[in-house]
Amino acid sequence: FAEIKKHTKEYFFKLLVIGEIGTGKTSFINRYVHKQFSTQYRATIGLDFALKVINWDKNTIIRLQLWDIAGQERFGSMTRVYYKEAVGAFVVFDVTRKQSLDHVIKWKSDLDAKVCLPDGEPIPSVLLANKCDLNKDEYATNASLMNQFCEKHQFSGWFYTSAKNNINIDECANFLISKVLEKH
Ligand code: GTP
Ligand code: MG
């Protein structure tokens, strides 16, 4: 047992979940961490937390702390404090609302202005095109436009997700974690 323990690596990662009001940040976390979904909307006030422990591989344990930041906070002054020491971020928009994608640009630039890697590069981030179970806005159906958008705004990648139907939830999280691991 001591031999096994010696080779076990443990990480603690603070990940942010940001994006406009009602895009599904809390729902994403509830699906990912608690395997639950509710159609009822209860706005997050300030922020919330969730923890998840992942046995990444036989030698690696990852403790995730997910910071669920209220969409309303973009207009607040607390984001600097919230973003401190984050190593990765999910930026969520709602595929049925093009406006929420426009706002992604503001969330992403706020993020990059307030937290970065020691070498000055942006922290890894993944764009979530959430509510993909519903009718998509035209822009959000165009994968090549989405790829361009991610390149331009320095996202590590993007995924269609549905917190409701459990689409790509583990996949996008594993993708972000692997990007974070490359830097640690
Ligand atoms: P704030 O806390 O105000 O910033 O909102 P939020 O981003 O946390 O949104 P929340 O998770 O509360 O979801 C808002 C609404 O969208 C709720 O009614 C959810 O049920 C619904 N919703 C979230 N994700 C999905 C999804 O993947 N598909 C569908 N159809 N509805 C979703
Ligand atoms: Mg919320």
SS (H, E, C) 34-100: HCCCCCCCCCCCCEEEEEEEEEEECCEEEEEEEEEECHHHHHCCCHHHHHCCCCEEEEEEECCCHHH
CA–centroid distance, residue 108 to ligand 1 (Å): 20
Per-residue pLDDT of 81-119, as tens digits, reads: 999 999 999 999 999 999 999 999 999 999 999 999 999
CA–centroid distance, residue 70 to ligand 1 (Å): 12
Per-residue pLDDT of 46-61, as tens digits, reads: 999 999 999 999 999 9
**48, two tokens:** 């919330």
**156, two tokens:** 């590590």
Q: Using a 6 Å CB cutoff, which residues line ligand 1?
A: 21-27, 38-39, 41, 43-44, 70-71, 130-131, 133-134, 162-164
Give which of 68, 36, 71, 66 is closest to 164, Cα–Cα.
Answer: 36
Q: d(Cα 45, Cα 47) in Å, to the nearest integer?
A: 6
Which residue has the least CA distance to atom 28 on ligand 1? 131
Q: d(Cα 125, Cα 91) in Å, to the nearest integer?
A: 7
> Against a cut of 0.80, is the pTM above it?
yes
Q: Residue 182: helix, strand or coil by DSSP?
A: helix
Ligand 1 nearest atom to the CA of residue 44, by list position? 2
Q: Tell me the ligand closest to 167's alpha carbon.
A: 1
Ligand 1 nearest atom to the CA of residue 27, by list position? 11
Per-residue pLDDT of 126-135, as tens digits, reads: 999 999 999 8
Q: Is the pLDDT of residue 1 over 70?
A: no
CA–centroid distance, residue 15 to ligand 1 (Å): 19
Distant-in-sequence contacts of 81-86, Cβ < 8 A, 24+ apart: 82/16, 82/47, 83/16, 83/111, 83/114, 83/115, 84/115, 85/14, 85/115, 86/14, 86/15, 86/16, 86/115, 86/123
Which residue has the least CA distance to atom 22 on ligand 1? 24
Q: Is the pLDDT of residue 7 over 90?
A: no
- The interface predicted TM-score of the complex, written ipTM, equals 0.99
How many CA within 13 A on the CB side of residue 23?
32
**pLDDT of the residue at 63:** 98
Q: Residue 151: helix, strand or coil by DSSP?
A: helix
Give which of 11, 143, 168 is closest to 92, Cα–Cα.
Answer: 168
CB 143 within 8 A of CB 157: no
**pLDDT of the residue at 5:** 63
